[in-house]
């Protein structure tokens, strides 16, 4: 991470010890985001190596820029070939992206009506290609949050969600379990994920019925493995696979609900 930041001209002070969080704006050029150029330099995806790359308003990024993410998402590196040399920039980052359900932002909202035409909606969602969506493991529809205004009598309102500290502790436990389970960390192959026979046949069935790609099957199995790690169980069960498939269905992106 220190070498990358140095190559990018960020001048890190000493060794970088904290994970990066990069959130480039959608007006960033393809080269600024992915890397490359006449004199190849690391882009945002490499500066996010070992950390998080957050893309807000995903469909606002030019399609060509987003397509440039496909190779790095799959291989964890960007390779740039020039006449005299080949450059390789590591880019193993966690992609997190956010988008509205439609251009006006209210599709599926419980209070305000959506005013988008089906054509405008299709155009908006069409900016995210199938192959890119295939590399996104979890798609989560987030409903309108209840707004609570603090008052003199309840200065902090009453929050119903879990505090981040609890979530953090659960994630740390799951990570420790995953590490104790397997010395092989990244890029686990299907056989080492320990799916039980019910889980394996459920995944095979879903692949057939939903037309999942080889990649989608592998990625779904890894999400199911993570679900099992969070529950601290050795074998991946059928229910973990079903839960992982729910995240993959991408229903909010592909099937507009009837108004």
- Which one among 8, 28, 32, 104 touches Zn ion, defined by CB under 5 A? 104
102 binds Zn ion (CB under 5 A): yes
Integer Cα distance of 254 and 257 in angstroms:
9
CB nearer to Zn ion: pick between 126 and 150? 126
Q: What are phi and psi of 160, to 5 degrees?
A: -100, -15
Shortest distance, CB of residue 107 to Zn ion, whole angstroms? 5
CB nearer to Zn ion: pick between 102 and 228? 102
Query: How many helices and strands in the chain, by DSSP H and E?
Result: 12, 7
CB nearer to Zn ion: pick between 46 and 107? 107
Query: What's the first-to-final CA gap in the chain, in angstroms?
Result: 47
99 binds Zn ion (CB under 5 A): no
Which of 34, 31, 30, 39 lies closest to 82 in space, CA to CA? 39
CB nearer to Zn ion: pick between 115 and 215? 115
Shortest distance, CB of residue 124 to Zn ion, whole angstroms? 9
CB nearer to Zn ion: pick between 102 and 236? 102
80 binds Zn ion (CB under 5 A): no
Q: Report the run of H or E that residue 96 belongs to, with start and end.
A: strand 94-97
Looking at the DSSP bridge assignments, the partners of residue 88 are 79
- Contact region with Zn ion (CB under 5 A), list: 58-66, 104-112, 127-135, 249-257: 104-112
- Angle in degrees, 0-180, between the axes of helices 214-230 and 197-210, rounded to the nearest 10: 140
- Which one among 1, 4, 99, 114 touches Zn ion, defined by CB under 5 A? 114
What size, in residues, is the chain? Answer: 259
CB nearer to Zn ion: pick between 104 and 233? 104
Integer Cα distance of 55 and 167 in angstroms:
23
107 binds Zn ion (CB under 5 A): yes
- Contact region with Zn ion (CB under 5 A), list: 45-53, 59-67, 107-115, 242-250: 107-115
Q: How many other CB atoms sit within 10 Å of the CB of residue 31?
A: 16
- Which one among 53, 55, 78, 116 touches Zn ion, defined by CB under 5 A? 116
Find out whether 101 and 107 touch, Cβ atoms under 8 Å. yes
Parallel, antiparallel or unpaired: strands 41-42 and 86-90: unpaired
Shortest distance, CB of residue 125 to Zn ion, whole angstroms? 11
CB proximity list for 242: less than 8 A, separation 6 or greater:
202
- Contact region with Zn ion (CB under 5 A), list: 55-63, 116-124, 167-175, 195-203: 116-124
Q: Can you give the binding site for Zn ion, defined by CB under 5 A?
A: 102, 104, 107, 114, 116
């Amino acid at each position: 991470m220190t070498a990358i930041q140095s190559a990018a001209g960020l001048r890190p002070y000493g060794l970088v010890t904290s994970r990066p969080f990069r959130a480039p704006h959608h007006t960033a050029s393809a080269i600024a985001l992915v890397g490359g150029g006449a004199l190849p330099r690391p882009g945002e995806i490499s500066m996010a190596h070992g950390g998080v790359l957050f893309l807000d308003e995903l469909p606002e990024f030019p399609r060509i820029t987003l397509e440039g993410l496909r190779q790095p998402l799959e291989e964890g590196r960007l390779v740039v070939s020039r006449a005299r040399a080949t450059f390789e920039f590591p880019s193993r980052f966690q992609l997190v992206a956010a988008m509205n359900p439609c251009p006006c932002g209210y599709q599926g909202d419980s209070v305000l009506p959506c005013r988008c035409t089906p054509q405008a909606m299709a155009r908006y969602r069409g900016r995210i290609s199938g192959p890119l969506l295939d590399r996104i493991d979890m798609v989560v529809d987030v409903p309108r949050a209840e707004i609570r205004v603090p008052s003199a009598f309840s200065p902090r309102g009453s929050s119903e969600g879990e505090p981040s500290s609890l979530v953090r502790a659960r994630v740390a436990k799951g990570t420790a379990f995953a590490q104790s389970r397997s010395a092989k960390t990244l890029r686990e192959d299907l056989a080492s994920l320990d799916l039980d026979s019910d889980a394996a046949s459920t995944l095979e069935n879903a692949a057939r019925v939903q037309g999942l790609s080889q990649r989608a099957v592998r990625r779904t199995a890894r999400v199911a493995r993570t679900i099992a790690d969070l529950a601290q169980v050795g074998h991946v069960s059928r229910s973990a696979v079903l839960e992982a498939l729910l995240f993959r269905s991408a229903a909010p992106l592909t099937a507009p609900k009837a108004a």
